[in-house]
Amino acid sequence: MADLAVTIAGIQFKNPVLTAAGPTTRDGESLLKAASGGAGGLVTKTVSVKPAAVAKPNMAVLQPGKVGSRRGMLNAELWSELPLDRWIKYEYPLALGSGLPVIASIGYTPQEVSQIGPMVEEAGVSAIEFSTHYVGGHKEIAKTLRDCVSIPIFAKLSPQVDVAKVAKELEQSVDGIVAINTLGPCLHIDIETGRPVLGGEKGYGWLSGAAIKPLALRCVADIAQTVKIPVIAVGGVMSGEDAVEFFMAGASAVQVCTAAILDGPSVYGKISTEIGDWLDKHGHKSIESIRGLALSSIGKTTAFTYPPTVDTARCNFCGLCSKSCVYSAISVNKEKEFFQIDRKKCAACGLCVAICPQSALSAS
Ligand SMILES: Cc1cc2nc3c(=O)[nH]c(=O)nc-3n(C[C@H](O)[C@H](O)[C@H](O)COP(=O)(O)O)c2cc1C
């Protein structure tokens, strides 16, 4: 059985699946539920000096009522609606009772974090994650925090900054980088009412979930290639396989927000178990043995031999590859169990290999 424990900035996590700042970590009680659901560590909802006044409604899925609702979601939440003193007196102590490391997310200006930082440290949390979410000022905030707390500091980056550049600037003053926050602002219109689905002045929201995973992966890989401090990945982790992808891109742990909103707190344990199963199946003893595995291939030209070969024992002649072959290189006939790739027409685009639900096509 693979060892799932990870140590980041001296903090020991029993598994690498952490909560992320959001509605599933909005108070001590929800954090305890996440702990019971199998999370390896608890990152709390962002707290600032004043409670947030949040637009209602503030959460929507991209395709209501359809399978595609798991593609992603939009939200117009801000930081915590609870006052800071309540977090200090009640919510952090409750979460700390879980016995798991607690990382307090705080925001936003240098002045605000210099007030909140020492208070959360005093409350007993293991580390601080600061979120700038498009407000910027990463360097000043990191420096301010470094001067007023002695626990580890993690900087959470938005995907719309040059993440590698910002991470490099922060490397000396923080203990790790968390990437990414949500993407936006975005808009979703209910075509029955003709109105934005979300409330607030403009009805704008921020995109999270499966839809942002490729962006998050690119950000994590960019950061991991640029700095030596640990990277905690967040953005579209819905399964153990998603997490494995992030470890291969250089992440030391993952955070989960949207999947926990959609599937409930047991999703942390489920993802953790899936990571363990994947490692076991592939003969790896720990996350460390796959961490950054993909980075050596990034930046190198990948040349495959085309056209792909087909494994006729696997092919069920569904025709998906033929339908999506924009070069008309593939002919499939289900009745006759016929499959052919026209070598002259194949442009080596790779889509058929990627799209085949049977994994019947391959190119080496
Ligand atoms: C409803 C909602 C509220 C969020 N609130 C916060 C927050 O308070 N602070 C923060 O840094 N990120 C916040 N996030 C961003 C998440 O922590 C995470 O970075 C992002 O959703 C991507 O991860 P996911 O795809 O697993 O959701 C929020 C996300 C959602 C969906």
Q: Which of 131, 208, 256 most suits a substitution to test ligand 1, by most atoms within 8 Å of the C-beta?
A: 208
Assess whether the region 6-290 and the region 309-362 belong to the same CATH fold: no
Confidence (pLDDT) at 67: 61
Q: 23 in ligand 1 pocket by Cβ < 6 Å?
A: yes
Confidence (pLDDT) at 172: 96
Q: 235 in ligand 1 pocket by Cβ < 6 Å?
A: yes
220-256, pLDDT tens digit by residue? 999 999 999 999 999 999 999 999 999 999 999 999 9
Name the band, by pLDDT with cuts 50, 70 and 90, for residue 131.
confident
E-strand ranges in the chain read 6-8, 11-13, 17-19, 42-43, 59-61, 73-75, 102-106, 127-131, 153-157, 176-179, 183-187, 189-190, 195-196, 204-208, 231-234, 253-256, 309-310, 330-333, 338-341, 361-362
Confidence (pLDDT) at 134: 63
pLDDT averaged over the chain? 95
Mean pLDDT of 135-151: 93
Nearest residue CA, atom 5 of ligand 1? Answer: 22
Instruction: Please determine, for residue 358, whether its predicted confidence score (pLDDT) is greater than 90.
Output: yes
Q: What angle do CA 269, 272, 278 make, to 5 degrees?
A: 140
Confidence (pLDDT) at 66: 65
Instruction: Please determine, for residue 63, whether its predicted confidence score (pLDDT) is greater than 80.
Output: no
Confidence (pLDDT) at 180: 98
168-185, pLDDT tens digit by residue? 999 999 999 999 999 999
CATH of 6-290, one of 1.10.1040.10, 3.30.70.20, 3.40.710.10, 3.20.20.70: 3.20.20.70
Cα(254) to centroid(ligand 1), Å: 13
Q: 181 in ligand 1 pocket by Cβ < 6 Å?
A: yes
Map residue 194 onto helix, strand or coil: coil
Confidence (pLDDT) at 71: 86
Q: 138 in ligand 1 pocket by Cβ < 6 Å?
A: no
> How many other β-carbons are positioned within 10 Å of the β-carbon of residue 130?
27
Instruction: Please determine, for residue 312, whether its predicted confidence score (pLDDT) is greater than 90.
Output: no
Cα(341) to centroid(ligand 1), Å: 45
Q: How far is the C-alpha of 194 from the C-alpha of 180, rounded, in Å?
A: 31
Instruction: Please determine, for residue 210, whether its predicted confidence score (pLDDT) is greater than 90.
Output: yes
pLDDT more than 90, % of the chain: 90
Q: 205 in ligand 1 pocket by Cβ < 6 Å?
A: no
Q: 20 in ligand 1 pocket by Cβ < 6 Å?
A: yes
- Surface-to-core class of residue 13, CB atoms within 10 Å of its CB (0-12 exposed, 13-18 middle, 19+ buried): buried
Name the band, by pLDDT with cuts 50, 70 and 90, for residue 132.
confident
Instruction: Please determine, for residue 65, whether its predicted confidence score (pLDDT) is greater than 70.
Output: no
Cα(252) to centroid(ligand 1), Å: 19
Instruction: Please determine, for residue 64, whether its predicted confidence score (pLDDT) is greater than 80.
Output: no
91-128, pLDDT tens digit by residue? 999 999 999 999 999 999 999 999 999 999 999 999 99
Confidence (pLDDT) at 361: 94
Q: 105 in ligand 1 pocket by Cβ < 6 Å?
A: yes
Confidence (pLDDT) at 347: 92
Q: Which fold has domain 309-362?
A: Alpha-Beta Plaits (3.30.70)
Name the band, by pLDDT with cuts 50, 70 and 90, for residue 288.
very high
Instruction: Please determine, for residue 62, whether its predicted confidence score (pLDDT) is greater than 90.
Output: no
**62 vs 141, residue with greater confidence:** 141
Domain boundaries, the chain: 6-290, 309-362
Cα(324) to centroid(ligand 1), Å: 34
Q: Rounded to the nearest 5°, which phi and psi values hold at 113?
A: -70, -25
Instruction: Please determine, for residue 273, whether its predicted confidence score (pLDDT) is greater than 70.
Output: yes
Q: 30 in ligand 1 pocket by Cβ < 6 Å?
A: no
Instruction: Please determine, for residue 27, whether its predicted confidence score (pLDDT) is greater than 90.
Output: yes
Instruction: Please determine, for residue 69, whether its predicted confidence score (pLDDT) is greater than 80.
Output: no
Q: Which of 12-21, 255-264, 272-281, 304-313 has the lowest mean pLDDT?
A: 304-313
Confidence (pLDDT) at 291: 98
Distances (CA, A) of 173 to 112, 161, 221, 289: 18, 18, 21, 28
Q: 184 in ligand 1 pocket by Cβ < 6 Å?
A: no
Name the band, by pLDDT with cuts 50, 70 and 90, for residue 305.
confident
